[in-house]
Every structure is written in structure tokens, then in C-alpha cells.
Structure 1
Amino acid sequence: MLSNNITKQFWRYSIPSVIAMVVSGVYLIVDGIFIGHVLGASGLAAINLAWPIIFLVTGLGLMVGVGAGALISIASGKAQQTKAQSLLSHALLLMIVMAALFTSLLWALGETPIRVQGASGDIQQMAESYLSILGNGALVVLCSCALPILIRNDNSPNFATVLMIIGAVANIGLDYLLIVHWNWQLAGAAYATLGAQALVMLLALGYFFSPYSTLSFQFSRFTLNTGYLANIANLGLSSFFTTVYTAFITVIHNYLFLRYGSITETGAYAIVLYLSVIYYFIAEGFANGMQPLISYNYGAKRYDNVLKVMALGFSIILGTGLAAVVLINLFSELSVGVFNNNDPELLSATVTGIRLHLWAMPFDGLVFTAAVVFQSINMANRATLISLGNMAVQLPFMLILPMTLGVTGIWLVMPVSTVLLSILVTGWLIKLVSKLKAEA
């Protein structure tokens, strides 16, 4: 990771990470295709009501994976291998505790998370079925998110990618079997996702017990250090809040679309999210690939390498964002048709949503990547502030735009607020670059 040819190292880490995330995006899209064609707008609306709650446990997994991964890489950069080993064991403990707490909370809340979004009838029942299955498997969901990140930080980015590909292929196969062939409807989609994630979890745990891993779990020699738990959670908090932001925004949009629009607009919103997945996963893939390199080189005080990685990463993420906006608008009707079973109202509503909602994607990629950069250098407070700012900036627009512009205003909430936040984040990045240049 200290190589003078940092560009080569960048691609070594980024390409497997991007492939893994794109594959994950593809299987989410295939999930949506099966649901859209078999269950129509109602099925798409129902899964969109359940996903915000599942985002929360995904966020816990990312919090542990990114927080522990960055600390492990920094410790490795300082040649503190004993500390790195201990951090891995504390990460596993944190996953178990958080999964148990999440499942318990979900049991206590019952149908409230779905009902509060304005759902009723068959859509509510479908969403509750999906949520119940994945909620009971919270440990599987959490581990399948966190463990590949830890494997990547153990200098095995290719194996982390293989894991994600295996999970994606398994999910697609199970989707066809359970949704189309056995007609288990939305419950089938949930079992397919959980089964694929269980496979990823088991293979990832097996890696850390294999000779290929430089790290291993310390069971017999484990000594609890609450400071490590706090450091992991604090540094990864930005990733959790980024996911909370996604969940929060989705919940509010679902509520607003059901209030000011209809099930059709809610289904259209689900399709728009599916169509944006590939870009966001590409951006996340590059950001995840940047993180181990930035953390390791920052720990080793190679600030010149940190700056090179940042320059490459941001250039690519902004460029791919611009390309994604152009392509998705050029081929909007064709793209929507993949999810739509001959419903002209759903097609019209979704194309409108694409035009209004997705034009600011490059700025969203900038904001997300900036948070990852600050996490990578152990600036947890700045990273968390970015994630919380995403929600805070959108709140006034959520109140004003729907009241004044109706459904059009709902579509515009996210892009308008994202542009404003990106201006602030760009200023912070400029200051960081100046500081690193002075110390290089």
C-alpha cells in the first residue's frame, strides 16, 4: 500500500470493489424486475416501504465494517498487528450485539414502521411480511455487509469481490425459484435475499479461519476493550448515518407520494431508486476502494499518496455521475420498461421522476465520497456531520416543496438540497487538501 505507483494500487483496490458493488446493484435490479413483472406497482410500492427499515441494519453493518476496517488499516500502517487483531474481534462482538438489539426493537415495534408511512391493506401486509423475514435475520444481513469490508482491509480485495459475486448470483437464482416458479411473492424476495447473504456470511467467516488471512478472531485470548468498541462505532457512525439518511428520505418520500399522489407514484419512486442504484454502487465501489489506501498511507504519513488517491477517486466519481445522468435520461423509457408490465401510468410517472429527481447524482457522489475520505483519516466528527447534514438540509424542502408544487416538488427535494450541501462539503475538502499538501 506504500507503493510509489499509487495509481496501480488504486486500481488494484478499486476495480474489485466496483465490480462487487455493481454486481450487488445488478441483483437488486433483478429483484425489482421480478417484483415489477409479477406483482406490478403494488409489489414495488410494498418493497419500498420495507426497505428503509432494512437499510438501518445494513447501516449498522457498514458502520462496523468501515469503522473497524479503517482502524485496522491505520494500525497495520503503523505496524501495530496485535491491535489490528484485537480490533477484528471487537468488530465481530459489536455485530452480534447490534443485530440482537435491532431484532428486539423490531419485535417491539410490530407493524408501526410500515403503517407510519401511510400504508394499508394488501400493500401493508406484503411489506410487513418482507420486513419480518429480513428483520429476524438481522445478524446475517449485518455480517454480509461488514465482513467483506474487513476482508478487503486485510489486503484481499479480490476475495471480497468474489464473495459479493457469489451472493449476487445466488440471490438471482433464488429470486427466480421463489418469486416466479414457486410464487411466494414478496416473501420469496425476502428469503432469496436472506439466503444469499447467509452464504456470503459463512464464506467470509471461513476466510478469517483460513491461512489466507493475516488477521484472525481472538476467542481464547480475547480481552474486552470498550474503547475499541467506541472507536469502531464512532468512526463508522458516518456510514450508519448515510444509510439512516437513505432510509429517512425513502420513508418521507413514500409518505409524501401516498399523500399527494398514489400507489402509482410510489411504485414509480421505487423504479427510480432501482435505476439510480448502478451509479451509486459504482461511486460506493470507488470510495470503498479508496478507503484502505488512504487509511494505510495516512497512518504511515505518506500524505502525497493520500492526495493522489483522492484526486483519482473524485475525478472518476464525478465523471461517472455525469455520464449516468446523460444515459439514464436518453434511455429513460427503455429503462423503465424493464420493470413495467405494460402500465402506461407507471411509465409516465417514472419518466417524470427520472427527469426531476436524478439530475444531481454527481453531487450526491461527491458528498458520499467526502464522508468516506474523512472516515479514512479518522476525522469521525466531520464525516458524521456530512451525513447528518444530508438530512438536515432536506427537511425544510420536504415541508415547502410538496405543499407548493405537489408531486413535482417531492421529486425535487433531494437534488436541490444535495447541490446546496455539496457546496459546503467542497469547501471542507479544499481545506483538507491544503493541509495535506503542507504536511507532505
Structure 2
Amino acid sequence: MAKISSQDLGTQPIGKLLIKQAVPASIGILVMSLNILIDTIFVGHWIGSTAIAAINVVLPVSFFIAALGMSIGIGGSSIISRALGANNNIKALKTFGNQITLTLLLTITMVFFGLLYINDIIPAFGGKGAIFEPAKIYYRIVLYGVPFLALCMMGNTVIRAEGKPKFAMYAMMIPSVGNLVLDYIFINVLDFGMEGAAWATTISYLFCFAFILWFFLSKNSELKIDISHFGLNKSIVSEISSLGFVTLARQAVVSITYLFMNNILYNLGGETSVTAYAIVGRMLMFALFPVFGVTQGFLPIAGFNYGAQEYQRVKKTIFTALKYASGLATLVFIMLMLFPEAITRLFTTDVEVIKQTPSDMRWVFAATPIVAIQLIGAAYFQAIGKAIPALLLTLTRQGFIFIPLILILPKFYGELGVWMSFPISDTLATIITAYFLNREVKRNLVTNS
């Protein structure tokens, strides 16, 4: 493999650079999403449809704790990208050391309290009735591995900030492949049921952590930290926190959304509706992988060039990313509108779930062609270190619009009101994001170019 330097982010053509960054990111997200997708299929067919709902209850809790690592990673990586762009290697190293310390302190604390209040947390997130026991089994085992997942998510963003997307892709692929192999062994061969599914997931996190650790200890990484870099620095922690809080707030809102959705749907349609939402949720993770990949590829390029004061390149990066992501989102939209029932049948043989899910899926993905504007717009402000607009735009869709809608519309339209909330919130959030992104480009990129 040719030697790759972070300086390439400031010199190579934007289109070529974005593809080089986005393709590995997309492949990594695809493999990770396929892992979640196939894991759900395995669980649905080998354990039962209730097990799908049980995992859906646990995911927002475990993902929120892991998102502490992601938020610290993205917040710190924004600093690292801009520091490398400005040739400030000392700040980049200190930031990375602080990221590791913060991730360990916060995630271990959260796991402790997550296990302490297990019997209260699971019902709160919709783990009721027949769902409770399998959810509890899965939750306890998966939480053991969550600190390792958090370190992986943090480390992955730093690898990308160094301009090494292929290694970031490998970091995402290794645990995904490992999880699928272990799923087959633990669930199908050894018949461990929910415990098998949980241990397969936890052990796969350890595989990922081993690879991330190897990368930073090897000559592939430019960031060679020592013990002095682990001591927390107030200004760096503050900057990591302000930028990382954007990602954490996003995941917090996602977790709250799961809490409301699982409970509302359980009350309106029982376990069938919760399972339908679990399937649609997996498709939200899987189907949009190329759009998320473009967004991930966009972040280090925008951050590096902004740090280097190459504003014309930043502007071109925004519009190239929007073009690529919107085209890919439209292809995803067409696929999901045409084949929702065939997709549903991959997950389950439950007749009621198959009957309900296709209509729900069409509602959820109705505004998909325009979601790239939301994602790229919020990511841009995060990449350049503007935490407040990044936070507000990130929260606009789910926090300010979607959650109020799912609390209000079902009073008038029943369960249909829940599904109608998706395209309405996507459309409104896109309009708001487009306005602020356009204003930012005109004010700061055009005038400074």
C-alpha cells in the first residue's frame, strides 16, 4: 500500500479525494450495516421475531454509551484535522491522548450505572411483556463490550482524520465479519440463543479494539503519543466537549426517539408494531450507507482545508459532497419504494409483521432524496469547529420536529401518525439546514476566498 499523508487532504483534486475518502467509509459502513442486518435476520429466523424486538430495545442504550466514544472521536478529530492542516502536530498529539482518557472515564462509568439499573432501563425503552427477558439477557452481556466499542469508534474517526480511510474501513469490517461468524457458531451450531447473539457481538468489539490498537502502535499512524499526552488539558477537553456534544446530543435524541417509538408503537399495535419498527430501523442503518460514507469522507477534507484557510476548496468540497450524496440517496429511495415487501420477508416469516412493515417502510423513506442536505450541512459546521450551529442543526430533525410530531399526530391519525412524522420532519429539517448552510457559504467562504 502506498504511503498516505494527511497533507494529501489539502492538495489532491476534491472529486478524486472525496471518492478516495468516501468509498472506504461507505464500504466500512456497508459491512457494519450488513452485520446488523444479517444479525437481525439470523436472530429472527433462529430465535424468533420477539428477539428482534428485544435487540431493538437494547440498541439505543448500548449505542448511546458507545456514542460517548464516537462524540469524543469526532469532536477531537475535528481539532486534529485542523491542527494537522495548520502544521500544529503538538496540539494533534495532545488532543488524541485526551480523547483516550475521556473515553475510558466516561464509558466505564456509564456501563456501571447501566448495569446497576438494568431492571428499570429495559422496560423504559419498551422491553415489556414477552420482550423483557430476552432483552435483559442481551443487554447485560453486550454492555460488557461497550467500552471497547467506544474506543473503536473514537479511534476510527482519528484514523480518518489522519487521511487513512482504508484503515478506518478495515476497522469497521473486522468486527462485522467476526460477529457474523460467531453468530452462526453460537446461535445456530451451539444453540446458545440470545446469549449467543450477545456474546458474538461483544467478542466482535474486542476484535475491532485489537486492530485499532495495532494501528496506532504501528508505523502506519502519524500520531505517536506518550504518557504526557494522556493528562487532561482544560482547553482541549472544552473544545472536544463542545464539538463532540453535537454527536452525543444526536445519539441521545436517537435513544430518546427509540424510547418514545417503542412505547408508543407497543401501546398502539403491540409487539408486531415494535418488530416492524425494528426492521425499518435496520434498513435506516443499512440502506443509507453510501450517504453516510460520503458524509464521513467529507468531514476530514472540509476540516483540513478550513484549517489551512483554503476556503475555495472547502466550498467545492461541500457542493461535491452534496451532489454525490443526493444522487446516492435517490437510488436508495427508488429501491425501497419498489421492494419493501421482499425486504421485509428477509427478516421474518411472521405474517402480521410482513403485512404491516412495507407500508411503514414507504412512509419512513418517503423524503430520502433530500436527506443529504441535512447530513452534509450539520457535518460542515462540526468539521470547521462551529459547535453551536452544528448542534442546533443536528437536533432540528429529531429533537425539535420529529419527537413533537410522534407525540401529537397519533392523537389524530393513530399509528399512521407515527409513520407520517418521518417525511414531514425530514422535509422541514432539510429546508432549515439548507438556509443556514447557504448563508454560511455566502458569508464566510465566498467573501474569504
TM-score tier after normalising by the smaller chain length:
over 0.9
Match of 1:437 in 2: 446
Give the root-mean-square deviation of aligned CA atoms: 1.5
Match of 1:387 in 2: 394
Match of 2:365 in 1: 358
Partner secondary structure for residue 183 of structure 1: coil
Match for residue 102 of structure 1 among 104, 110, 114: 110
One-letter amino acid of the counterpart of residue 448, structure 2: E
Shift of 1:290: 0.7
Q: Distance in 1 between matches of 2:218 and 2:243?
A: 28
- Where in structure 2 are the equivalents of 1:365-384 lying within 5 Å? 365-384=372-391
Match of 1:44 in 2: 52
Q: Distance in 2 between matches of 1:432 and 1:350?
A: 40
Q: Which moved more, 1:34-43 or 1:64-73?
A: 34-43
Q: Distance in 2 between matches of 1:298 and 1:237?
A: 21
One-letter amino acid of the counterpart of residue 310, structure 1: I
Match for residue 312 of structure 2 among 304, 307, 314: 304
Task: Give TM-score, length-normalised by structure 2.
Answer: 0.94
Match of 1:187 in 2: 195
CA 1:221–1:364: 2 relative to 1, 3 Å: closer
Q: Distance in 2 between matches of 1:185 and 1:80?
A: 51
Q: Distance in 2 between matches of 1:272 and 1:224?
A: 41
Partner secondary structure for residue 111 of structure 1: helix
Q: Distance in 1 between matches of 2:319 and 2:157?
A: 22
Conserved? CA contact 1:75–1:81, under 8 Å = yes
Shift of 1:185: 1.9
Q: Deviations over 1:9-28 (max 9, x none)?
A: 11111111111111111111
Shift of 1:415: 2.1
Match for residue 43 of structure 2 among 35, 38, 41: 35
Partner secondary structure for residue 218 of structure 2: coil
Shift of 1:379: 0.6
Conserved? CA contact 1:134–1:141, under 8 Å = no
Residue 113 (structure 1) aligned with residue 116 (structure 2) = no
Q: Distance in 1 between matches of 2:295 and 2:90?
A: 27
Q: Distance in 2 between matches of 1:233 and 1:322?
A: 34
Structure 2 unmatched ranges of 5 or more: 1-8
The total of aligned residue pairs comes to 439
Q: Deviations over 1:240-284 (max 9, x none)?
A: 122222222122111011001111111111111112222333222
Shift of 1:109: 2.1
Shift of 1:218: 2.0
Structure 1 unmatched ranges of 5 or more: none
Task: Give TM-score, length-normalised by structure 1.
Answer: 0.96
- Where in structure 2 are the equivalents of 1:307-322 lying within 5 Å? 307-322=315-330
Conserved? CA contact 1:144–1:198, under 8 Å = no
Q: Distance in 1 between matches of 2:232 and 2:357?
A: 51
Match of 2:5 in 1: none
Match of 1:75 in 2: 83
CA 1:378–1:394: 2 relative to 1, 3 Å: same
Match of 2:406 in 1: 398
One-letter amino acid of the counterpart of residue 46, structure 1: A
Conserved? CA contact 1:279–1:320, under 8 Å = no
Q: Distance in 2 between matches of 1:399 and 1:245?
A: 14
One-letter amino acid of the counterpart of residue 179, structure 2: N
- Where in structure 2 are the equivalents of 1:399-418 lying within 5 Å? 399-418=407-426
Conserved? CA contact 1:68–1:88, under 8 Å = yes
Residue 174 (structure 1) aligned with residue 182 (structure 2) = yes
CA 1:223–1:41: 2 relative to 1, 3 Å: closer
